[in-house]
Structure 1
Amino acid sequence: MENTIILVTVTITATILLWPRLANSTGWRAMITPLASIIGSGFLVLGPILNDSFGMFAPLMLLILCGVAYLFGHAIRFNIAEINNGTPRPFLAERLETASSWMLSFAYFISVAYYLNLLGAFGMRLTPWNTPLNARLLTTAVFLFILFTGWTRGFRALERLEEYSVGLKLAIIAGLLVGMGFYFTNRAVEGALLLNPPTVTGWPALTLAFGLLITVQGFETSRYLGETYDAKTRIRSMKQAQWLSTLIYIVYIVLLSYVFAPGTMKLTETAIIDMMEVVAAILPFLLIAAALAAQFSAAIADTSGAGGLVEELTSHRLKPRDAYAVLVAVGLLLTWATDIFQIIAYASRAFALYYGLQAAIAAVTAAKTPRLHRAKWFYGALAILGFAIAIFGRAVEGG
């Protein structure tokens, strides 16, 4: 019965999301890009990690994580508005903007490795060849395919996949939440809900949370949609994407954290599959479909974004395909020298540096504007927080 309801939910949600009137709406299209980026990969790994580490406090930790991300989003929205005002920016702000763009391109290098290592792990998960070696081989093959495509044809044809993968991903997430809701309700009726104590506390818990920033990252994509949407639309859509993603994440983690005991399942990058097998038989297959489509399209988007940034930052001295080659080299190094949890921490630290630089830009700009002198302290503190996350963020210890 649950499987049928889940499939109906997925079908109805996908139909609504692909409805032309909604799909072509300016506000929706502006919001769906950051929304899909925020929840696309984090949804696959965040629940098991938080449940295993923080137990009954997992929803609180997630709320804090989303809150920190919202504050960084506030700094980026401030910068969007200031650029739109046309007021000359301080020299230091311009230099920091260049540094932050370089940092973002480097963060994209790591995030692509994160996406494709997830793709490799989920791609092998339900096959007879489910080993770390084979997952890495699949990841390597996809990296080489991306490099070949980027060097020979470009990504324009593949970028259309993004439109369909976003709808598929959100529809499957809706089905997953419905399935988890049934399971949670049944456990509650049976009086079998769990209040698990955290397994990580104090400073280790804080640094672990720092290392998970990548799982709520993605809202900054609104900053770079200026050729498509005006500043007001981008600011509004970023807020809406962060609000909605926080709501979805909190519902998800509440439904998960009080029905699974930490340690009962091995903490791996595909642990969510083991959990969802208990909830409903159809969910593992849906999750893998979502993972393959979403991670591949996200990798294409970030590879293309990194190439464009590098070309712009070098005044066209380097072509996008030069950046693609470096990106693939970095990705293959991370794939074979580390594990997915280390890559998550590296990506989190790289994006924290980018967010810290964006907050520093906001602080410098506010300091030069008399009416915003108080704001400079807020943005300055936010910049320090970003740099602290970059320094102290650490990886989860997988099983």
Structure 2
Amino acid sequence: MRQLISATTTPLASIFGSGFLVIVPILAGAVGEFSVFAMAAICLLAFLVGEVIRHNILSVELALQNGASKITLSLERLSDVALIVAYVISVCLYLHILSAFVLAGLDIESHFADDMLTTCVIVFITLIGLTKGLQPLEKLEKWALYVTLAIIIVLCAAFAYYDGSLLSGGKSFQMPQTNAYSNWQILTILAGTLIVVQGFETSRYLGASYPSKIRVASSRLSQIIATVVYLSFVALTLPAVHLLNGVYNDNSLIELVGYTAALLVAPLILAATLSQFSAAVADTLAAAGNLNELSNKKVPEKLAYLLIGMAAVALTWTVDTFTVLALASRAFALYYFLQCLVALTVTSNIGLKLFFTLMACILAFITLFAVPVG
């Protein structure tokens, strides 16, 4: 049990680092009163994708060890490239969110300031990687998860109290305003939120620390916990979202908390800073490690840190937070799509082939058509 809990920390920290801070305004702006159902659909899709990854932990890894076919090897290599790109985009996303929350706490509303702070943090992480290496900062992941879970639980309690006070006062819930989107637009916006529940795949890359069965169980457990937390958080927050008056930004959660439980604003900013910085470090490490391995050690880790940092800075000054979020969703969808193709090459079960094909089609749609809200 202790080993399972330890193995679950990494995927769970990655999932919560991916977007609980921004999911409420995104869903409210896209689907309003149906936000909980949309969140459930997103979690269900993620769980099904997780089943593909878990299948690959048990089957593909064994095939690779025993001499897989050329097509399996090529697709696996291509998926590694897609994963590196996805990690680079997610580093930019995490630090954009970090900057948005820190600046909101300082009452600074400026795209330039957001991009500048994001750039400074990227440069800081890159310099630490170049001089001392990022491995010592990995320890932040566990504490970031604990702090994040604690603040989510406290926020849920605060919003539950707000909801209860409305009901006890004889008032009805007022649902949030939505933007005028077509069904197609709503579908493509929701497709752009896959990154919010991404992270379960990290269990596949912990083979040096845990056996396959533990990694499969940790991946599944992390998704179950995340689903319960996300659905509870969205459901409890929804009745208060109308206080935003239909204006949804990447730091809207701070404004919402300020209306309902002002004392929690500072802890929320702390949790945001710690979780996003930790997630950015973790993904920088993962991207550098994958790039080093993919290049057969020709790209050393320090050079990988520099390349990742440069790419993240370039992306920072090109797009805003919600656009980065949609790009990250598309990049991870491409990785998951390729993992579905890898799975197809190692199974002869007709039922599984149909399932992997269906998931591949859904993920191809997300890769091609996911868009940011707004």
TM bucket, shorter chain: over 0.9
Change (3 A) 1:157 1:227: same
Deviations 1:163-205 (A, max 9, x none): 2211111111111111111111112223221245753341111
Match for residue 259 of structure 1? 240
Q: Deviations over 1:311-356 (max 9, x none)?
A: 1001001112222222112211121111101100110000000000
Q: Identify the range of structure 1 (138-147 vs 119-128) with the bigger mean alpha-carbon deviation.
A: 119-128
- Per the normalisation by structure 2, the TM-score is 0.95
**TM-score normalized by the length of structure 1:** 0.89
1:309 maps to a residue whose letter is: N
Who is 2:200 aligned against?
219
Contact 1:52–1:263 (8 Å) recurs in 2: no
Cα deviation, residue 94, structure 1 = 1.5
The match for 1:119 is 98
Task: Check whether the contact 2:10–2:202 (CA below 8 A) recurs between aligned residues.
Answer: yes
CA-based RMSD of the aligned residues comes to 1.6
Q: Is 1:350 the counterpart of 2:327 in the alignment?
A: no
1:301 aligns with 2:278: no
Q: Which segment drifts farther, 191-200 or 325-334?
A: 191-200
Q: CA deviation at 1:154?
A: 0.3
Aligned pair partner of 1:289 in 252, 263, 270: 270
Aligned residues: 370
CA 1:213–1:128: 2 relative to 1, 3 Å: closer
Pairing of 1:200-215 with structure 2 (within 5 A): 200-215=181-196
Counterpart-to-counterpart distance in 1, 2:256 and 2:225? 24
Do 2:13 and 2:141's aligned partners in 1 also have CA atoms closer than 8 Å? Answer: no
What stretches of structure 1 of length at least 5 have no aligned partner?
Answer: 1-21
Alignment of 1:99-118 (within 5 A): 99-118=78-97
Q: Tell me, yes or no, if structure 1 residue 30 matches structure 2 residue 7.
A: yes
2:130 to 151, 154, 170: 151
Instruction: Write out per-residue CA displacement over residues 107-156 of structure 1, whole angstroms, 9 at most, x where no aligned residue.
Output: 00100000111111111112154422222211111111111111111012
Which residue number in structure 2 is paired with residue 193 of structure 1?
A: 173
Q: Deviations over 1:341-376 (max 9, x none)?
A: 11001100000000001111111211xx3xx12211
Question: 3-state SS of the aligned residue for 2:20?
Answer: helix
C-alpha separation in 2, matches of 1:275 and 1:314: 46
Matched to 1:351, the amino acid is F
Amino acid aligned to 1:61: A
Q: What displacement does 1:83 show?
A: 3.7
Identify the residue that residue 314 of structure 1 maps to in structure 2.
295
Q: For residues 300 and 196 of structure 1, what CA distance do their matches in structure 2 show?
A: 35
Contact 1:52-1:262 at 8 Å conserved across structures:
no
- Establish whether residue 269 from structure 1 lines up as the match of residue 246 from structure 2: no
Moved more, 264-273 or 284-293: 264-273
**Identity score, percent:** 35
Residue identity in the other structure for 1:364: T
Q: Which residue of 2 aligns with 1:82?
A: 59
Note if contact 2:343-2:356 (Cα within 8 Å) is conserved in structure 1: yes
- Render the CA deviation track for 1:41-90: whole Å, top value 9, x for unaligned: 31100011101221111111111111111111110100001145455433
The residue type equivalent to 1:396 in the other structure is: V
| Aligned equivalents of 1:228, 1:392: Cα separation in 2 | 37
What secondary structure, in the 3-state scheme, does the structure 2 residue paired with 1:299 have?
A: helix
Task: Check conservation: 1:101, 1:309, Cα contact below 8 A.
Answer: yes
Alpha-carbon spacing, 1:151–1:191, altered in 2? closer, same or farther (3 Å): same
Write the deviation string for residues 292-327 of structure 1: whole angstroms up to 9, x where unpaired: 111111111100110000010010011122222221
Q: 2:50 matched to 1:73?
A: yes
Output the CA distance in 1 between the equivalents of 2:265 and 2:246: 15
